[in-house]
Amino acid sequence: MLEASGLMVFYENMLALNNVAVKCDDHQIVGVFGANSAGKSTLMYTLSGIMEDIRKKEAMAGGERITIMGEIRFMGKSIMGLKPSLRAKQGIVLCPERRRIFSESNVLENLRIGGYLATTSQARKTMEYVFQIFPALLKLKKRTGGFLSGGEQQMLAIGRALMAQPKLLLLDEPLLGLSPLMQAILIRGTKVIRDERNISIIVTEQYARPVLPIVDYAFILENGAAVMEGTRGDLLSNPDIRSAYFGV
Ligand code: ATP
């Protein structure tokens, strides 16, 4: 499905991604775990193409010089250099960190905006599906985004990403700051989306423990480098990884 190799991202002289290779196969949930500043968001921006936009904007404004190198292949074709909107059309959809929903718009409006790439009938069916996996949103249809709780906003952010008809969903720290109960609802929803919609998922988190049960394969990022990868069992059998990312 997606294979990235040799990814390097510099913010001026600061190396944020150092020769990173990640892979997500069809029907997989892949975890990317790393501490604050490890490079998780930079990786998600690079895969979704948003990094390319940020680079161009900075260059036009005469600001920070950003360099992006490496190769990303999606469904057999190189997508390196492709704009984020074209990657989204091909099925790579990012649900960004800090759940950037439209806070002035209500739940329905947020979902409709997310469905701009979908046909009317796809949008209608997907919206029904979003309410089926996250029934809490149904009662909040008319609620303004900014007045939702953090967990509700995250459900909406995932729902909005689903409206764009992803084949590969990129979830950047979806559990950040949420209660264990809300985390469990979102993790269950994530697994259901993969199982029922056959959407592959790459999910980043600082702590691996809550998401590990649904992850097929994972990468550990440290200071911009992928220092380890493996199955759930591989990670759990490494004592350093266990204490740093699982708290056990
Ligand atoms: P967090 O969990 O805090 O979101 P992260 O793993 O997502 O962290 P990134 O946001 O990718 O990490 O940041 C990686 C490194 O790049 C950090 O040291 C960060 O300060 C730096 N960085 C990110 N964006 C920029 C930028 N626009 N200009 C300069 N440095 C940046």
CATH number of 173's domain = 3.40.50.300
Whether residues 85 and 9 fall in one domain: yes
Burial class (CB in 10 A: 0-12, 13-18, 19+), 108: middle
* Cβ burial, residue 202 (10 Å; 0-12/13-18/19+): buried
pLDDT for the residue numbered 248: 60
10 exposed, middle or buried (CB, 10 Å; 0-12, 13-18, 19+)?
middle
Q: Is 39 in the pocket of ligand 1 (CB under 6 A)?
A: yes
Q: Are residues 6 and 86 in the same domain?
A: yes
Tens digit of each residue's pLDDT, the chain (248 residues): 999 999 999 999 899 999 999 999 999 999 999 999 999 999 999 999 999 999 999 999 998 899 999 999 999 999 998 999 999 999 999 999 887 889 999 999 999 999 988 899 999 999 999 999 999 999 999 999 999 999 999 999 999 999 999 999 999 999 999 999 999 999 999 999 999 999 999 999 998 889 999 999 999 999 999 999 999 889 888 888 888 777 66
Task: State whether the beta carbon of 16 lies less than 6 angstroms from ligand 1.
Answer: yes
Ligand 1 pocket residue status of 107, Cβ below 6 Å: no
Is the domain of 7 the same as that of 87? yes
Boundary (domain end) residue, out of 149, 165, 181? 165
Same domain, 221 and 178: yes
Same domain assignment for residues 133 and 199? no
Q: Where are the alpha helices (DSSP H) in 115-213?
A: 120-133, 150-163, 180-197
Span from the CA of 222 to the centroid of ligand 1 (angstroms): 12
30: tokens are 């892949």
10 φψ region: left (φ > 0), alpha (ψ -120 to 50), beta (else): beta
**Most informative mutation of 7, 10, 14, 53 for ligand 1 (most atoms within 8 A of CB):** 14
Same domain, 85 and 173: yes
Q: Strand, coil or helix: what is 206?
A: coil
219 with 104, same domain: the answer is no
Looking at the CA of residue 58, tell me the nearest atom of ligand 1: 27
What tokens does 60 get?
A: 């036009």
Q: Is 154 exposed, middle or buried (0-12, 13-18, 19+ CB in 10 A)?
A: buried
Question: 172 and 161: one domain?
Answer: no
On whether both 234 and 187 belong to a single domain, the answer is yes
Ligand 1 near 46 CB (within 6 A): no
At residue 72, the pLDDT reads 98
Handedness of CA 100, 187, 115, 139 (dihedral sign): negative
Instruction: Report the pLDDT value the prediction gives residue 63, as an integer from 0 to 100.
Output: 86
Instruction: Judge if 64 and 113 occupy the same domain.
Output: no
Q: How far apart are CA 22 and CA 94, in angstroms?
A: 16
**Span 116-143, pLDDT tens digits:** 888 999 999 999 999 999 999 999 999 9
Q: Which domain covers residue 188, as residue numbers? A: 2-91+166-246
Q: Are residues 107 and 203 in the same domain?
A: no
Query: 126 with 115: CB under 8 angstroms?
Result: yes
DSSP state of 107: H
**Ligand 1 pocket mutation pick from 22, 42, 50 by most atoms within 8 angstroms of CB:** 42
Closest residue by Cα to residue 96 from 38, 146, 152, 48: 48
Q: Tell me if 42 CB under 6 Å of ligand 1.
A: yes
pLDDT of the residue at 99: 77
Domain count, the chain: 2
* CA dist list (Å): 108 to 15, 101, 138, 140: 40, 12, 9, 9
Helix and strand counts by DSSP (H, E) for the chain? 9, 10
Among the three residues 145, 165, 185, which one is the final residue of a domain in this structure? 165
CB of residue 91 inside a 6 A radius of ligand 1: no
- Give the span between the Cα atoms of 113 and 232, in whole angstroms: 36
pLDDT at 174: 96
Residue to mutate, 22, 36, 41, ligand 1, most ligand atoms under 8 Å from C-beta:
41
Domain boundary among 165, 196, 213: 165
The preferred substitution site among 7, 8, 10, 11 for testing ligand 1, maximizing ligand atoms within 8 Å of CB, is: 11
Residues 145 and 204 in one domain: no
